């Protein structure tokens, strides 16, 4: 086997929560090109060009040893530090959790708000959800609530909906979009007809989903329309769901950005519960980015709690961003320690330390958005960047 063949491999892509593990990349002189099964997000991730970076203190170049010493000095002064961002893999999060225990630090993920929307429903009422494999093998009706799923998970339809499953063929699936006012032609495939779209404003979804929940439960509504949607159409949708062999009701919490959005999610999950009295149905929380599913799961098994969006007062911030240069920390009057793929462009950190990116510079592992499997991330290029765990270990050794 020649060297060119050795540099071609299938890898897992961490650019969205699907963690597609069939992406073929080719590495040449440290440049990476996606050759097969890529989407816009995977191309942006794998083909990113990262400049040579070095640690800085107050914007000035420093050695790694000097930067770590300054981080330790700042943490020793702080009484209530905040570990923010938390964009990393499972190994990186475990290291951060240990640092939080040692420094009395709070933890907040960059996607804390959308995580909390789902967790409030799960904690208060429970839910019945499914996996991506079950969707592919069983789902004959898929309802997408208020979300442009393709924007978050570009290959969801290609990998799990317009492919034949073990117990259902792609041509026999029906896709319905409820609440998305955007064009839905981008989820049309060779196997599927254009989805039936019932548009409404996102902040009308609480009214629409409670109406659908009532109709599925056999209740009569006096209104003729809800948020511009005819009740007769909602009744038709309710009938389709009740007649389905395996209905899947999907949403992306990040898109439900309006007050009390968790009530919409609860309407969806309680509709699933009602359907399961007579047929088979399941919910599916999609989205997932920046390692948020992995961070939340790891925090739950290490502490017994889910990640919280409500953070107490703090006097220093460690911003962790292992994956995306587009994610930026909030402005803060406190010392900011940035550990990431690049220094934040919106603020000069007190200390910046470049770290390796899982799936590019180092191996790692992430939970898929459905929480059913963990998938390995491969190291596919060479550099001398330390991993997040290595940096945290050196910090802890001096505390």
- Burial label, 6 (beta-carbon count in 10 A; 0-12, 13-18, 19+): exposed
> Does residue 162 form part of some domain?
yes
If you compute the radius of gyration of the chain from its CA atoms, what whole number of angstroms results? Answer: 23
Tens of each residue's pLDDT in the chain, 399 residues: 344 445 889 999 999 999 999 999 998 877 899 999 999 999 999 999 877 899 999 999 999 999 999 999 999 999 999 999 999 999 999 999 999 999 999 999 999 999 999 999 999 999 999 999 999 999 999 999 987 899 999 999 999 999 999 999 999 999 999 987 665 544 544 445 668 999 999 899 999 999 999 999 999 999 999 999 999 999 999 999 999 999 999 999 999 999 889 999 999 999 999 999 999 999 999 999 999 999 999 999 999 999 988 888 999 999 999 998 888 999 999 999 999 999 999 999 999 999 999 999 999 999 999 998 999 999 999 888 999 999 999 999 999
Q: Which residues contact residue 112 at a Cβ distance below 8 angstroms, ignoring those fewer than 6 apart? A: 307, 308, 309
Alpha carbons 7 and 1: distance in angstroms, whole number = 11
Structure tokens at 393: 């270990």
pTM for this entry: 0.92
What is the largest distance, in Å, between two alpha-carbon atoms of the chain?
A: 72
Structure-token pair, residue 181: 């006012």
Judgement on whether residues 101 and 119 belong to the same structural domain of the protein:
no
HSE, side-chain direction, 13 A CA sphere, residue 124: 13
What's the CATH code of the domain at 318? 3.40.50.1220
Does some domain include residue 147? yes
Residues whose CB is less than 8 angstroms from the CB of residue 367 and which lie 6 or more positions away in sequence, other chains included: 90, 293, 294, 297, 373, 374
Give the strand pairing for 106-109 and 247-252: unpaired
Residue 28 falls inside a structural domain? no
| Segments of 91-241 assigned E as strands | 106-109, 141-145, 174-178, 196-198, 225-226, 229-230
- Among 269, 286, 303, give the residue marking a domain's end: 286
Q: What is the DSSP letter of 129?
A: B
- The residues with which 320 forms a beta bridge, in sequence order, are 339
Written in H, E and C, the secondary structure of 310-367 is CCCCCCEEEEEECCCCCCCCCCCCCCEEEEECCCCCCCCCCEEEECCCECCCECEEEE
Backbone CA torsion sign across 198, 200, 203, 206: negative
**Count of domains observed in the chain:** 2
Residues 157 and 187 reside in one and the same domain: yes
Of 255, 270, 286, the residue that ends a domain is 286
Residue 48 lies in a domain: no
Do 99 and 129 lie in one domain? The reply is no
Of 257, 286, 315, which residue is a domain's last?
286
Which range marks the domain in which residue 201 is found? 115-286
Q: What is the rounded (10 degree) CA torsion for 106, 111, 114, 116?
A: -10
The single residue listed with the structure tokens 């909906």 is: 161
Residue 51's CB: how many other CB atoms inside 10 A? 6
From the list 386, 335, 312, the residue with the least C-alpha distance to 73 is: 335
């Amino acid at each position: 086997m020649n060297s060119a063949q050795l540099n071609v491999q299938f890898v897992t892509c961490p650019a969205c929560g699907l963690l597609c593990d069939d992406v073929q990349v080719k590495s040449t002189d440290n440049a990476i090109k996606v050759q097969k099964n890529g989407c816009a997000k995977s191309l942006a991730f794998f083909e990113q060009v990262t400049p040579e970076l070095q640690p800085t203190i107050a914007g000035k170049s420093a050695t790694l040893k000097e930067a770590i010493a300054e981080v330790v000095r700042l943490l020793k002064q702080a009484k209530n530090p905040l570990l923010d961002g938390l964009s990393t893999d499972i190994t990186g999060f475990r290291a951060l959790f240990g640092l939080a225990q040692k420094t009395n630090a709070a933890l907040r993920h960059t996607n804390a708000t959308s995580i909390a929307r789902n967790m409030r429903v799960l904690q208060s009422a429970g839910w019945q959800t499914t996996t991506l494999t079950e969707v592919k093998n069983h789902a004959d009706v898929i309802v997408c609530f208020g979300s442009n799923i393709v924007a978050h998970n570009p290959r969801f339809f290609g990998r799990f909906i317009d492919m034949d499953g073990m117990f259902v063929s792609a041509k026999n699936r029906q896709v319905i979009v409820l609440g998305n006012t955007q064009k839905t032609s981008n989820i049309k495939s060779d196997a599927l007809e254009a989805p039936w779209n019932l548009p409404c404003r996102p902040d009308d979804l609480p009214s629409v989903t409670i109406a659908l929940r009532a109709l599925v439960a056999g209740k009569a509504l006096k209104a003729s329309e809800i948020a511009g949607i005819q009740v007769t159409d909602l009744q038709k949708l309710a009938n389709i769901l009740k007649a389905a062999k395996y209905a899947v009701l999907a949403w992306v919490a990040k898109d439900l950005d309006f007050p009390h959005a968790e009530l919409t999610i609860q309407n969806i999950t309680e509709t699933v519960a009602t359907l399961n009295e007579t047929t088979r149905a399941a919910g599916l929380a999609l989205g997932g980015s920046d390692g948020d599913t992995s961070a939340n799961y790891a925090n739950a098994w290490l502490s017994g709690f889910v990640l919280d969006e409500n953070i107490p007062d703090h006097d220093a911030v460690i911003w962790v961003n292992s994956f995306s240069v587009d994610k930026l920390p909030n402005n803060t009057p406190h010392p900011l320690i940035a550990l990431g793929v690049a220094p934040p462009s919106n603020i000069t950190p007190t200390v910046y330390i470049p770290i390796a990116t899982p799936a590019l510079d180092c191996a790692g592992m992430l939970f898929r958005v459905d929480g059913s499997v963990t998938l390995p991330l491969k190291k596919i290029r060479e550099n001398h960047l330390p991993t997040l765990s290595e940096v945290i270990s050196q910090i802890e050794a001096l505390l």
